[in-house]
Structure 1
Amino acid sequence: MTSDELSSLLLPLILVVVFWLLVIRPARRRQRELAAAQSAAQPGARVMLSSGLYGEVSAVDDTDISLTIARGVTVQVHRQAIAKVVEPAAGGSTGSAGGASAASSIDAPDRSTDR
């Protein structure tokens, strides 16, 4: 092989390696992290679904989980719908900031503008 032939093979090889480093490796890492989060969903864990819905795992099956999203409201979703396990806040509160006031504003709408 001459140096011209070697250099013509080197460029495609470099492109494949760069593609692997920038695309394939991070995708595999995210896939492993997601699988770990889905398997870590045990009863009592607070999770976020891929749709953005938050809730607490109440029961776990092989493929499905029961998720409590509000008092008395439980939904059954596929385990792969879990996007991440949410860690509790440092203060020990499991709710989001302003969660109680948001719920009370939904329960009792403002009627001051009604005539």
Structure 2
Amino acid sequence: MMSDIDPVPNDLVFAHDGLLPAIIQDDESGDVLMLAWMDHEAVRRTLTTGRVTFWSRSRREYWRKGDTSGHRQYVRGVAMDCDGDTLLVRVVQIGAACHTGTRTCFTDRDVTALVGDPSGDA
């Protein structure tokens, strides 16, 4: 039986569109797997089911990772950032996290950037 108490923290800050970013991280390796969007209901479902649920901005519907692909995400921990406007969801990832079939969405897409040197700062 589900509790009537809302598990979503009151100090979680959603943007004007009702969404916040959720960074998905592999609990074992620490790899950042993907970023997706959650509204209040997606956060509630994630916190109460042990499976990650997102809000699809393009399809305008909820999607639970893995329901169609089989590439599931099982929640191991959830943390808010210091401003309360981003979630970090640590998961056990079964299969690929990315819709392209790769383990992470951050594969082979490096952007050229000047590498900083902390010893050279004045």
Please report the TM-score for the alignment, with normalisation by the length of structure 1.
0.25
Q: Which has the higher helix share?
A: 1
- The structure with the largest alpha-carbon Rg is 1
Q: Which has the higher strand share?
A: 2
Please report the TM-score for the alignment, with normalisation by the length of structure 2.
0.24
